[in-house]
A and B are shown apart, each in its own frame.
Chain A
Amino acid sequence: MRRVDVAVVGAGPAGLCAAAEAARHGCEVALLDENATAGGQLFKQIHKFFGSRAHRAGRRGIDIGAELLDEVAGLGVHVCLGAPVWGLYEGRTLAVAEDDHSWRLAAGAIVLATGATENGLAFPGWTLPGIMGAGCAQTMINVHRVLPGRRVLMVGSGNVGLIVAYQLLQAGAEVAAVVDVLPRVGGYPVHAAKIARAGVPVLTGHTVKEVRGDGVAEEATVWAVDDAFRGLPGSERRIRVDTVALAVGLTPMAELAWLAGCRMGYVPELGGHVPFHDARMATSAPGVFVAGDVSGVEEASSAMEEGRLAGVWAAAAAGKVTEDRAAEAAEPHAAALDGLRGGPYGVHVRRGKQALADGVATAQVQVLGGGGV
């Protein structure tokens, strides 16, 4: 069985930063990812990030991803790609599949940075070819450079829906409309403004009623909704589209946290079941840390800061750095996280994270599990 000081599962923005920080603090680090390339969603994010200079604001995700890959390479992190982690056993032992065999990896501390998965939305016709997650459409245009279709309906006006709609325009598709069931735009209004001024209607208080087509999506019907989100008969409009992209939220991929016996809570503000964790990103399972969307759905900038925190504290848990030094190294990242979560757009995340940090079962936090590795 192989052994490292810190094993990081998931090589997206959170995992890359966790691996870099643990390595910088003297750990031998293995960074595992089931995908063939590292970077997670960063290499689909061709837009400039928000934040301040400390968060690399104004830089594009693709460029930040390249910098992080250089950083972990320079620090001697062992990067294992095409290596899904399928088990987590006592003694912080991971089971890793690679090619035609499995192997075990024991770690002094583990950072779970497994990200999140796109939610679906069921409506008549939703299984027709041409209907896909917004992340799928983004992968097609920005990674594979293939247009998913010529004319797209985007469902959901959170930042994912708005950004992918803009990137579909950049890729040469027409975006027929962005609809959102809520009465207001979910994402940053500056993202909405970019597509609105390009001529894309943003229809808040609307949702998709059905999609029809002969074997493929050909026509979507959208309609207005009332206060209880019921469709309003008579408000239907038909839109010719060959693609419907669904940007209706993400769910943390917390399977390994469940396996580790982490105490879990259901926190709607954070996307579903997430492991309880403190400001060090430590879960209830000794030596098991979390970072990024698996600990509550946010965005890449906060995932990177959480990764730095988890990496520092994992190094401390692995005995490679003192608590005092870890606290000193963690401080600027904790402050950067606070900065990103300020203001009205951070209210949900602040509330959800606080509930988890308190470990309190509020009306909205249903506690499950417990125990630990």
Chain B
Amino acid sequence: MGGPASTGATAGGCEQRGFFSLEEVLALPGCPDLDELRGRRLAVVECGHEIPCDPCQTACPTGAIAVGDDITALPRLDASLCDGCGTCQPVCPGLAIFLVDMTRDDGLAEIWMPHEFLPLPEKGERVRLRDRAGEVVGEGKVRRVRHGARLDRTAIVHVLVPERLAMVVRALEVTR
């Protein structure tokens, strides 16, 4: 895996600026280590505040995400149990779960992002990519768009990005 670049983070905590820096995300119990991500597809649970919520734990079919009985506890990801199925993704009310797929050998990573804006992108379309701060960090190609009853109007968009942006890109914008 290439070195994930940090972009857009300014001084002050997440609560002050409204988004996590990459360093803050990597320290979350729901975020796998970069070593664990190598060659795998894993959920990255970007949930770092003790809000009362646990659908990720309930949805996970492999027991990889644990919140516990106290639903304000932070979700913890056990990367050894996560098979990258993405069942957790559409049930997260905070749209805070991303799937990061580092299994390709062409220098690209695939990111699955929850997306609730119309028009939806189409397969093959090039979309504008943004980081957690909303800064434009490049363009990516849409590999797949999933939506349907099970996803309950949260589309999941699969986008191919350069490997180094795997932990940086967190939003897409249709520019047509």
Question: When the two chains form their complex, are residues B47 and A190 in contact, meaning their CB atoms are under 8 A apart?
Answer: yes
Interface of B is mostly: loop
Contacts of B37 in A (CB 8 A): none
Residues from 156 to 176 in B contacting A, C-beta threshold 8 Å: 170-171, 173
Within 8 Å by CB of A343, from B72, B91, B171, B173, lies B72
Using A52-B58, A190-B94, A198-B171 as known contacts, say yes or no to A204 and B17 having CB atoms under 8 A apart.
yes
Residue numbers in A under 8 Å from B20 (CB-CB): 189, 193
Within 8 A of B (CB), among A182-208: 183-185, 188-202, 204-205
| Contact-residue bracket for chain B | 35 or more
Indicate if the CB atoms of B18 and A196 lie closer than 8 Å: yes
Known: A50-B52, A52-B71, A345-B52. A198 touches B134 (CB 8 A): yes
Contact mask A309-343 → B, CB, 8 Å, 1/0? 00000000000000000000000000000011111
**Contacts across chains A and B counted by CB atoms under 8 Å:** 142
Known: A58-B93, A194-B95. A169 touches B152 (CB 8 A): no
CA distance A340 to B50 in the complex (A): 11
Residues 98-118 of chain B: 1 if any A CB is under 8 Å from the residue's CB, otherwise 0?
000000000000000000111
The smallest beta-carbon distance between B173 and chain A, in angstroms, is: 8
Residues of chain B lying within 8 A (CB to CB) of residue A58: 55, 59, 91-93, 152
Q: Is residue B120 contacting chain A, with contact meaning CB distance below 8 A?
A: no
Residue A145 interfacial (CB < 8 Å): no
Q: What distance in Å separates the Cβ of A185 from its nearest Cβ neighbour in chain B?
A: 5
Q: Whose C-beta in chain A lies nearest to the C-beta of B94? A: A190
Q: Which residue of A lies closest to B52 (CB)?
A: A340
Of the candidates A48, A52, A196, A205, which one forms a contact with B133 in the assembled complex, judged by CB atoms under 8 Å apart?
Answer: A196
| Cβ–Cβ < 8 Å partners of A183 in chain B | 16
With known contacts A48-B152, A49-B93, A339-B71, A57–B15 Cβ distance under 8 A = no
State which residues 25-79 of A face B: CB under 8 Å. 47-53, 57-60
Contacts A57-B54, A57-B55, A346-B52; A51 near B71 (Cβ below 8 A): yes
Sampled A-B contacts (26; CB under 8 Å): A47-B93, A50-B94, A52-B52, A52-B53, A53-B58, A57-B54, A157-B18, A169-B117, A170-B116, A189-B19, A190-B51, A190-B96, A193-B19, A196-B132, A197-B171, A198-B130, A198-B134, A200-B134, A204-B15, A339-B52, A339-B71, A341-B52, A342-B50, A343-B72, A344-B49, A345-B49
Closest 10 pairs between A and B when the two form their complex, measured CB to CB: A343-B72, A190-B94, A202-B18, A199-B134, A192-B18, A343-B50, A48-B93, A196-B19, A197-B171, A184-B15
Report A's interface with B, CB cutoff 8 A. Answer: 47-53, 57-60, 157, 169-170, 178, 183-185, 188-202, 204-205, 339-346
